[in-house]
Amino acid sequence: MAGRQSKANPTQYTTLKVRLYPNAEQMALFEKTFGCCRYIWNQMLSDQQRFYAETGAFFIPTPAKYKNEASFLKEVDSQALIQEHNKLNQAFRVFFKDPEHFGHPNFKRKKTDRDSFTACNHEFTSGPTIYITKDGVRMTKAGIVRAKFSRRPQGWWKLKRITVEKTRSGKYYGYILYENTDKMPVPVTPSEDTTLGLKYSMRHFYVDSSGAAADPPQWRKVSQDKLAKIQRSLNRKQPGSKNYQETVQKFYRLHEHITNQRRDYVHKESRRIANAWDAVCMRADEMRELDKITSLGNVGDSGFGMFRECLRYKLARQGKQLLIVDRYFPSTRTCFVCETVMPVEISTRRRTWTCPHCGAVLKREENAALNIKAQGLAQYFRMQEQRQSA
């Protein structure tokens, strides 16, 4: 168990994404499992609501209750149904804990909710229920599903579960979760020379404290232009027609392609930074809030939030720090030279501004990155002093 691991050997979890190529029978089983998981979720949620309305108590029936009435539930992996029960319980737990941020669980719909199911691995004397082979993944009831691996697990990793997902473009993917223990990384003490400050940029992806800007490759603009062209074509077609359905599939495939491009860039860039620097300072910007107050572009499409999370765990696994500065810290309107704070926010359209106190000409985003770096380091050393004094 993770809670029993010593501090010298912490438990880590790694997920490997593999492309699945099921045959016709396996594909039919997957589709049936998707439908059964959606059905069991809706039935359990409906019975929970009725039971609460009648008694005022919280209760969720187990999937076994429905198998006599719906015999088709016996045709799929029971682990997938059990996981739906666990997910519904978890959804209610987070809802009761923080109703303002987590909404009440909703019923699932075939058209809007993604097709996926999760199955846990169990070890028996005859062997595990889920394991990987040279060119496939063995799953309960489905048998060995042909798969393409971009990365192989280490020999001592323990397979915990697999999540099978079908994208809107009709592709199947498997997300295999592994558990392993690793040595506690040696903590790295950051210094001013080995610390990088990053400022989110609408014009670029980010601007760092050295003034360098990260511009995603040209493919991003090319893909966005293609997407706009397909959307215009889709608006001219009759909904429900054959040409309309073909264009919708092209739209889904291109959306998936853009998502993969964004994810690939985020992982490569975060890995490069994590290997090159001992600490990274960033501001805790809420991307959804930024998207509401800006009209210069779609903040969510940038993937900066995912970039921040990738940096967090990649730095942590090397004993390094991701230093987060308060989201309301006035990094943009603070002069890095004399620390004068402007009374009003600097417009996002202005690339440079002049400090009225010291006369320094400052680049807007580079100045903000420098302030974030200084504030992050100050917070880190202040925390270290408090720990030592305690």
In tens, the pLDDT along 80-119 reads 999 999 999 999 999 999 888 888 999 999 887 889 999 9
Q: Is 11 left (phi over 0), alpha (psi -120 to 50) or beta?
A: beta
In a domain, 94, yes or no: yes
* 57, 185, 207, 250, 379 from 367: Cα distances, Å: 56, 33, 10, 43, 18
In a domain, 276, yes or no: yes
In a domain, 190, yes or no: no
295 versus 261: the higher-pLDDT residue is: 261
Q: Is residue 74 domain-shared with residue 217, that is, in the same domain?
A: no
Domain end position, chosen among 124, 157, 181: 181
Q: How many domains does the chain have?
A: 2
304 versus 194: the higher-pLDDT residue is: 194
300 versus 262: the higher-pLDDT residue is: 262
pTM (two decimals):
0.81
The pLDDT-based confidence of 299 (bands split at 50, 70, 90) is: low
In a domain, 148, yes or no: yes
Predicted pLDDT at 211: 86
Q: Is residue 267 domain-shared with residue 133, that is, in the same domain?
A: no
In a domain, 43, yes or no: yes
What's the mean pLDDT when you consider all of the chain? 87
SS3 labels along 91-125: HHHHHHHCCCCCCCCCCCCCCCCCEEEEEECCEEC
Residue 95 has which token pair?
């809802």
Q: Is residue 85 domain-shared with residue 200, that is, in the same domain?
A: no
C-alpha 11/C-alpha 179 separation (Å) is 7
Predicted pLDDT at 7: 53
DSSP 241: S
Q: Is residue 373 domain-shared with residue 244, that is, in the same domain?
A: yes
DSSP 53: H
Domain end position, chosen among 119, 146, 181: 181
Domain end position, chosen among 181, 209, 231: 181
Position 124 pLDDT exceeds 70: yes
Q: Is residue 142 domain-shared with residue 253, that is, in the same domain?
A: no
Q: Is residue 140 domain-shared with residue 281, that is, in the same domain?
A: no
Give the H/E segment covering residue 18. Answer: strand 11-21
Position 36 pLDDT exceeds 90: yes
Q: Is residue 149 domain-shared with residue 237, that is, in the same domain?
A: no
In a domain, 361, yes or no: yes
Mean pLDDT of 25-51: 95
SS3 labels along 147-211: EECCCCCCCCCEEEEEEEEECCCCCEEEEEEEEEECCCCCCCCCCCCCEEEEEECCCCCEEECCC
With H, G, I as helix, E, B as strand and everything else as coil, classify residue 59: coil
* 268, 302, 347 from 212: Cα distances, Å: 17, 18, 21
C-alpha 1: how far from its chain's center?
25
Mean pLDDT of 288-314: 75
Q: Is residue 154 domain-shared with residue 267, that is, in the same domain?
A: no
Position 364 pLDDT exceeds 90: no
In a domain, 188, yes or no: no
The pLDDT-based confidence of 136 (bands split at 50, 70, 90) is: very high
Buried/exposed 61-72: b ≥16 CB within 10 Å, e otherwise: eebeebeeeeee
Q: Is residue 162 domain-shared with residue 259, that is, in the same domain?
A: no
Burial class (CB in 10 A: 0-12, 13-18, 19+), 54: exposed
Mean pLDDT of 60-71: 91
Check if the beta carbon of residue 85 is closer than 8 Å to that of residue 135.
Answer: no
Check if the beta carbon of residue 147 is closer than 8 Å to that of residue 21.
Answer: yes
Q: What length is written for the chain? A: 390
**Beta strand pairing call for 172-181 and 158-166:** antiparallel
Domain limits for position 118: 2-181
Predicted pLDDT at 1: 37
Rg (C-alpha) for the chain, rounded Å, is 25
Position 354 pLDDT exceeds 50: yes
Burial class (CB in 10 A: 0-12, 13-18, 19+), 80: buried
Q: Is residue 200 domain-shared with residue 102, that is, in the same domain?
A: no
Residue 264 has which token pair?
């690939």
Closest of 319, 321, 334, 316 to residue 371, by C-alpha: 334
In a domain, 187, yes or no: no
In tens, the pLDDT along 217-271 reads 777 778 888 888 988 888 888 888 888 888 888 888 988 888 888 889 999 999 9
- The mean-pLDDT minimum among 19-33, 200-214, 291-305, 319-333 falls in 291-305
Mean pLDDT of 340-357: 79
Q: Is residue 208 domain-shared with residue 290, that is, in the same domain?
A: yes
With H, G, I as helix, E, B as strand and everything else as coil, classify residue 380: helix
Residue with tokens 């592994």: 178
Predicted pLDDT at 85: 95
C-alpha 164: how far from its chain's center?
16
Q: Is residue 169 domain-shared with residue 203, that is, in the same domain?
A: no
C-alpha 50/C-alpha 34 separation (Å) is 25
Position 13 pLDDT exceeds 50: yes
Mean pLDDT of 353-378: 88
The pLDDT-based confidence of 41 (bands split at 50, 70, 90) is: very high
